[in-house]
Structure formats: C-alpha cells, structure tokens
C-alpha cells in the first residue's frame, strides 16, 4: 500500500509522489481530468487527499507540496478576509457608537483601500529589489500587526475611529503587498507553463474563501449574540490568524534565486538604487511593454469599478426581490454570504479550465457574459421583479462570471505577461489601478442608483464590462501553454 501524501504545504519524496500518481492516474494531466469524476473523488477522499483546499491545489501537480504556494494562497485568503470584514465590523461599531460622525466612519472605510494601493505600489518595488521571500514576510507582518492593533487599540468615542483608521491603513499596506508578491511567487514556482498558470489560479481562488469567511464570521457573531463592544473586535482579530498560520513557513522559504539574465540585486547596492530608473527606462523604450501595462491596468480598473460597485449595490437587489432590509445587519451579512457562496465556484472552475483556455480567453468570456447579463437585467428589471428567482439567479451569475472571468484574469495575467525582472513591480501598478477602480465604483454606484435608478446602473455595468472585454482583446497578448 502506498504512502499517504504529506499534509498540504510539506514536502514529499519523489517515491511517495510517484506512488500516489501511479495509483490514481498514469500522468498528472490524467489525474487532473479524473478529479472531475465522482468515483475518483471518492477514492481520493478515502486516501485523505480529498479536502477542498487540497483538491484545488492538486491541480497544480507537484506545486501542491510547495510551501511557497501555501504561503501565497493563505496570504490571499487573509487579504480577502481583511478587506471584506471591515464592512461588518463598522456596522457593529456604529451600533456601539450611534452618535459618531459619518465623516469618521467614511475615513475608516477608505483607509484599508488607500493602504492597499500604497502596499501594491510599495511592495512591487520591494519584491523586485529585496526578493519575493522578504517582501512576503514584511507584508504578512504588517497584516498581522494591523489586524491585532485594529482589534485591541481603539477605545473611546471619536478616538476609536481615528485609531482604527490608522490601524486599517497599516493593515491595508500589508494586504496590498500580497497581490504582486503572491502572483509572482506562484508563477515562478515551476518551469512548466501549464503548472505555472494553475498555480496562480489556485492561489487566487483562496481569495474567494476569504470573501466567504467574512460574512460567515459576522453571521456567527450575530447568532452567538456577541456583545456589541466585543463582536467587532473579534471579527477584526480573526484577520490576524491566517497570517500567523503561514508566517513561520514564510521565514523558512528559500531565498529567491536571481533571474538568470540578471546579476543578484540583493548583492549589488548600486543596482538596487538604480532599479526603479532602469524599469521606467525599459518601459519607456518598449512599446510592447507599454501596451501590456495599459491592458493590465485598464482591464483591472474597469473590472473592479463594476465589481466593487455591485458588491455595495447587492443589498438593494435583495431588498427589491426578497424584502431583505439593506440597513439591517443580519440581512446584509446573510445576503453577502449567499453572493460569496455563488461566486466561489467560479474561482474553482478556473483552476480546472486554465490550460484548456488561456487567462485572456477566460477574462474575455467572463466580461462578455457579464455584458449580456447586465444588459438583460437593465432592460427588463421591472418585469423581472415578478420573477424573483430568475432575477436573483441572473444577478448571482454576474458574480460567478466575475470569478470565472476577469476577477481571476486580472490577477493572473500580469504575472504571465511581464518579464521576471519587472514582474512584481508592474503587477503592483496594475493591482493599484484595480483598487483605484474599486474606490471609484464604491463611491459612485450608490449616487448613480439614487439619481437614475437600478436599470441605468445595470446598463452602465454592461458598458463598463464591454470596455473591459475590448481592452483585454486589444492589449493583452495571447498565451500558448507548453507542457
């Protein structure tokens, strides 16, 4: 009987790995296909290899036993949870301090996002100069520090918002740095093009898990009747646990190997100091790189514009269809949980499909599906209110095709289309463009809906999605996978 595979994130011997693969498939690609078969799923589960995160990461073959991939995946889970959970914590906090200034609440809401933009830009440079390992350690430390400080330091009335805003900015810098570093680390985890792509998709899929955990934890706090002064602190403190879980593994990672065509920047101080000027000089003299950077930035901006705008707008749809109160905490947490649960399979499907389809194709398909869904919803919104199940199903599908489409594509494509020596920094620029789009969407969609109505907002989302598809088609190069 073959040896049971080691737990996720630990290293196994070639003999153990070969024994497992020879038992269930003749090759890694066959194992990938067989994972879809329920019978084989049962066999894998019986061997202890069928847990959901393991099945996701098993798609990247031998990368499944890489600590580098585990750290990147859990860091993405931490990022998604911490960016999402502040909404629920603020609702609890508002009930604790009902007379606080709306301006103070708005400041806290925006600080995580502003910190994320700063982190994406800063750690893109840090990852290029100091290496992915050191950059990831710093981001995890900032994330843990920001989450713990957010839960423990704020006290008082107005001062609680000031302190919380500072803590969330620190956390935002940490979680923002995860975007370029985790994508670059995943794509550099293998020399095989297909395995690289599956690794990046699998790493990003853990953001879907984090987005699901945030409303789930909020709903659990409500079900437990947690005290108002304690519940929001627990929600924020939980955000430190994923980072703590993988921090030791991050310290144990091997130092980055310098790109084969570059001298070791970590050993050459002069190169460190000139790194940024070299990057922008290279960008200035390369029209191809300019097109790729524009495509990555514009598509990410356009997607996050409509995605985060619709996340804010979702309670309105659920109020219109099922009468859920968008101002009631439990209803907001419940509806957000439903949307996150519907969206998550889109992430998982991408992990299985990539290789058969490129990320560019997946992103265009997702954008086009969103165009059709938003147009239909926009033109027939009043009529669809009489068919609540159909309306809610179509709206939920927009989030499914976001995840099986531009949500994963915008994260993964920059890691593929940029050269190794500029990958992290330009990935950070693209990610920051996305967060800028998120800020615009979150700030403007509520105003547009109040002034022009739901139908016009949905039609606008269709237009933005169409622009995203056109930008992707025109400016993103097509990737051909070679195994």
Q: What was the pLDDT predicted at 227? A: 66
Residue 52 lies in a domain: yes
Buried-state track 379-415, b at ≥16 Cβ within 10 A, e below 16: ebbeebeeeeeebbebbbbbbbbbbbbbbbbbbbbbb
- The answer to whether residue 383 is domain-embedded is yes
Question: In degrees, to the nearest 5, what angle opens at C-alpha 462 toward C-alphas 460 and 466?
Answer: 115
Q: What is the mean pLDDT of residues 158-182?
A: 90
Residue-wise pLDDT for 92-128, tens only, equals 887 777 777 777 777 887 888 899 999 999 988 888 7
Residue 89 covered by a domain:
yes
Q: Rounded mean pLDDT of 409-436?
A: 90
For 33, phi then psi, to 5°, come to -65, -40
β-bridge mates for residue 357, sequence order: 354
Q: Could you identify the residue written with the tokens 């998550």?
A: 344
> How much is the average pLDDT of 33-51?
40
| 134 and 181 belong to one structural domain | yes
Are 211 and 129 found together in one domain? yes
Does the pLDDT value for residue 25 go beyond 50?
no
CA angle, 222 then 342 then 51, to 5°? 85
Contact in structure between 72 and 61 (CB atoms under 8 Å): no
**Closest residue by Cα to residue 150 from 135, 140, 162:** 162
Are residues 437 and 325 part of one domain?
yes
The answer as to whether 240 is a domain residue is yes
Pair 40, 79 in one domain? no
The answer for 70, left when phi > 0, alpha when psi is -120 to 50, beta otherwise, is alpha
Q: Decide which of 36, 58, 80 is a domain's last residue.
A: 58
What confidence category does residue 305 fall into, taking pLDDT thresholds of 50, 70 and 90?
very high
Q: Please check whether residue 124 lies inside any domain of the structure.
A: yes
Coil, helix or strand for 51? coil
What CA–CA distance (Å, rounded) separates 109 from 442? Answer: 10
pLDDT for 428 equals: 92
What mean pLDDT is reported for the chain? 80
Is position 287 within any domain?
A: yes
pLDDT of residue 257: 54
Name the domain count of the chain.
2
Contact (CB, 8 A) for 157 and 448: no
Does position 46 have pLDDT exceeding 50, yes or no?
A: no
User: Which among 8, 33, 58 is the end of a domain?
Assistant: 58
DSSP 3-state assignment of 149? helix
The residues that bridge with 354 in the sheet, in sequence order, are 357
3-state secondary structure of 26: coil
pTM: 0.78
Q: Is pLDDT of 159 > 70?
A: yes
CB of 77 within 8 A of CB of 209? yes
Q: Tell me the two tokens of residue 111.
A: 């600080």
Per DSSP, the residues of 408-471 read HHHHHHHHHHS-TTTHHHHHHHHHHHHHHHHHHHHHHHHHHHHHH-HHHHHHHHHHHHHHHHHH
Range among 129-133, 240-244, 322-326 with highest mean pLDDT value: 240-244
In 3D, which of 208, 465, 212 has the Cα closest to residue 351?
A: 208
pLDDT of residue 400: 94
- The answer to whether residues 105 and 239 belong to one domain is yes
- The domain containing residue 51 runs over which residues? 24-58
Query: Which pLDDT value is given to residue 274?
Result: 56
Q: Assign residue 169 a region: left if phi > 0, alpha if psi is -120 to 50, beta otherwise?
A: alpha
Closest CA to 358 of 228, 203, 238, 197: 197
Is 168 in the same domain as 42? no
3-state secondary structure of 9: coil
Distance (Å, rounded) from C-alpha 386 to C-alpha 199?
Answer: 43
Tell me, yes or no, whether 353 and 395 share the same domain. Answer: yes
pLDDT digits (tens, 9 = 90+) for 201-228: 999 999 999 999 999 999 888 888 776 6
Look at residue 42 and tell me whether its pLDDT is greater than 50. no
Q: Which residue has the higher pLDDT, 175 or 130?
A: 175
Same domain, 41 and 181: no
The reply to whether 45 and 146 lie within a common domain is no
Residue 268 within a domain: no
260 falls in which pLDDT band (50, 70, 90)? very low
Do 38 and 123 lie in one domain? The reply is no
Is residue 8 predicted with pLDDT exceeding 70? no
Q: Are residues 117 and 40 in the same domain?
A: no
Q: What is the CATH number of the domain that holds 179?
A: 1.20.1250.20
Residue at a domain's end among 58, 76, 107: 58
Total residue count of the chain as it appears in this document: 483
Do both 105 and 36 map to the same domain?
no
**For residue 456, is it within any domain?**
yes
């Amino acid at each position: 009987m073959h040896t049971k595979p080691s737990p996720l994130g630990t290293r196994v011997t070639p003999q153990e790995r070969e024994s497992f693969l020879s038992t269930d498939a003749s090759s890694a690609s066959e194992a990938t296909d067989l994972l879809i078969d329920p019978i084989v799923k049962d066999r894998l589960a019986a061997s202890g290899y069928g847990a959901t995160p393991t099945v996701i990461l098993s798609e990247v073959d031998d990368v499944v036993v890489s600590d580098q991939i585990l750290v990147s995946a859990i860091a993405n889970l931490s990022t998604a949870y911490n960016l999402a959970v502040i909404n629920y914590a603020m609702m609890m906090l508002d009930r604790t301090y009902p007379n606080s200034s709306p301006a103070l609440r708005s400041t806290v809401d925006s600080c995580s996002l502003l910190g994320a933009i700063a982190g994406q830009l800063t750690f893109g440079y840090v990852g290029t100069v100091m290496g992915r390992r050191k950059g990831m350690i710093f981001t995890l430390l900032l994330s843990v520090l920001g989450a713990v400080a957010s839960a423990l330091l704020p006290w008082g009335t107005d001062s609680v918002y000031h302190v919380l805003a500072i803590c969330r900015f620190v956390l935002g810098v940490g979680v923002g740095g995860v975007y370029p570093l985790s994508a670059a680390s995943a794509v550099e985890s293998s020399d095989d093009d297909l395995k690289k792509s599956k690794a990046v998709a699998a790493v990003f899929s853990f953001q879907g898990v984090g987005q699901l955990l945030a409303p789930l934890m909020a709903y659990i706090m409500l079900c437990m009747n947690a005290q108002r002064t304690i519940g929001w602190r627990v929600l924020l403190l939980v955000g430190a646990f994923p980072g703590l879980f993988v921090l030791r593994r991050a310290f144990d990672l091997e130092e980055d190997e310098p790109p084969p065509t570059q001298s070791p920047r970590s050993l050459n101080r002069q190169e460190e100091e000139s790194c940024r000027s070299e990057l922008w000089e290279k960008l200035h003299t390369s029209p191809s790189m300019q097109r790729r950077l524009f495509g990555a930035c514009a598509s990410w901006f356009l997607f996050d514009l409509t995605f985060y705008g619709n996340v804010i707008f979702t309670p309105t749809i659920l109020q219109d269809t099922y009468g859920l109160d968008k101002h009631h905490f439990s209803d907001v947490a419940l509806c957000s949980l439903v949307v996150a649960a519907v969206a998550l399979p889109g992430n998982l499907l991408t992990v299985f499909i990539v290789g058969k389809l490129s990320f560019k194709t997946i992103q265009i398909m997702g954008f086009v599906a969103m165009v059709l869904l938003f147009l239909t919803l926009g033109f027939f919104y009043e009529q669809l209110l009489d068919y609540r199940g159909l309306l809610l199903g179509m709206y939920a599908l927009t989030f499914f095709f976001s995840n099986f489409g531009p949500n994963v594509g915008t994260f993964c494509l920059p890691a593929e289309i940029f050269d190794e020596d500029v990958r992290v920094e330009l990935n950070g620029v693209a990610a920051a463009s996305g967060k800028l789009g998120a800020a615009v969407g979150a700030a403007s969609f509520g105003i547009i809906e109040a002034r022009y109505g739901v139908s016009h907002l949905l039609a606008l989302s269709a237009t933005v999605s169409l622009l995203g598809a056109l930008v992707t088609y025109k400016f993103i190069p097509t990737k051909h996978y070679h195994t």
